[in-house]
């Protein structure tokens, strides 16, 4: 883990100094403020907010925020940093230099993956909790007396979904190192847009309830499947494959 930490610190330092990282942080900070303010203002003007019948609607609103804000942040980090940096390092010889050291392919793989995931996840949790706390404390709690964040929703939004996206990120970095980075990024677009379109359609049809235990458990099952696939594919992560892919072989 110590050697993994070396790669993590190196890549995180480079990532945090990029203009892309700064722009993403600023954009989502502004989005967070806008969501917190607009939702709070709109809800505070609704006469029905304190009624028992309003709970499903409030739960839906909280669910949409809690699920899609961190999803958008993490997917943006994955799309921005997972593939192109590996391509550049292959071209300039940095990957070959790392392989020539005592670092193992798995240490390089994990360090690079965590350097992208941890800052993205940290920002997503902080910004999402800001919105949820503001909306709850300024609108929902005064009207209903309850802080609205069902446990299944919390698990799906801030634990299962990030784990799913971490598995996706591990796959992308693994395939980028051992094979073609351009192909590696493709599944992220399929999964990202699939979730962004499929979840709302499922909610609209009544098939999906983000705050239900059944959905949470099904989601966890999907996460486990993704991680099993990644574990199986780690056999591709050899020095020979990384060197050959760097040379275009």
| Position 241 confidence tier, pLDDT thresholds 50, 70, 90 | confident
Tokens describing residue 237 = 């992560």
The residue length of the chain stands at 249
Q: Looking at the predicted structure, is the pLDDT value of residue 234 above 60?
A: yes
Q: How far is CA 141 from CA 69, 133, 138, 232, in A?
A: 21, 10, 7, 47
**Which of 137, 25, 5 has the alpha carbon at shortest distance from 77?**
25
Number of H helices, E strands in the chain: 13, 0
Please tell me the distance from the alpha carbon of residue 197 to that of residue 200, in angstroms, as a whole number: 6
Query: Can you say how many angstroms the Cα of residue 55 is from the centroid of all Cα atoms in its chain?
Result: 28
Per residue in 127-151, pLDDT (tens digit) is 999 999 999 999 999 888 889 899 9
| Mean pLDDT on 149-167 | 94
| Position 238 confidence tier, pLDDT thresholds 50, 70, 90 | confident
Furthest CA-CA distance within the chain: 67
Asked if 174 contacts 230 with a C-beta cutoff of 8 angstroms, the reply is yes
């Amino acid at each position: 883990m110590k050697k993994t930490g070396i790669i993590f610190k190196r890549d995180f330092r480079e990532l945090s100094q990029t203009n892309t990282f700064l722009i993403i942080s600023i954009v989502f900070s502004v989005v967070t403020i806008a969501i917190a303010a607009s939702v709070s203002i709109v809800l505070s003007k609704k006469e029905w907010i304190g009624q028992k019948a309003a709970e499903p609607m409030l739960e839906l609103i909280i669910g949409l925020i809690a699920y899609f804000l961190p999803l958008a942040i993490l997917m943006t980090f994955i799309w921005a940093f997972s593939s192109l940096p590996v391509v550049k390092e292959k071209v300039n010889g940095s990957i070959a230099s790392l392989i020539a050291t005592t670092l193992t392919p798995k240490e390089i793989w994990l360090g690079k993956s965590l350097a992208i995931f941890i800052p993205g996840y940290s920002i997503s949790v902080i910004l999402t909790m800001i919105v949820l706390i503001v909306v709850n404390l300024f609108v929902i709690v005064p009207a209903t007396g309850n802080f609205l964040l069902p446990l299944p929703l919390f698990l799906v939004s801030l634990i299962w979904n990030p784990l799913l996206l971490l598995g996706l990120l591990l796959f992308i970095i693994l395939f980028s190192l051992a094979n073609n980075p351009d192909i590696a990024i493709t599944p992220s677009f399929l999964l990202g847009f699939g979730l962004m379109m499929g979840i709302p359609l499922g909610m609209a049809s009544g098939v999906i309830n983000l705050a239900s235990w059944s959905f949470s458990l099904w989601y966890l099952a999907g996460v486990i499947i993704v991680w099993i696939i990644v574990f199986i594919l780690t056999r591709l992560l050899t020095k020979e494959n990384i060197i050959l892919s760097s040379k275009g072989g």
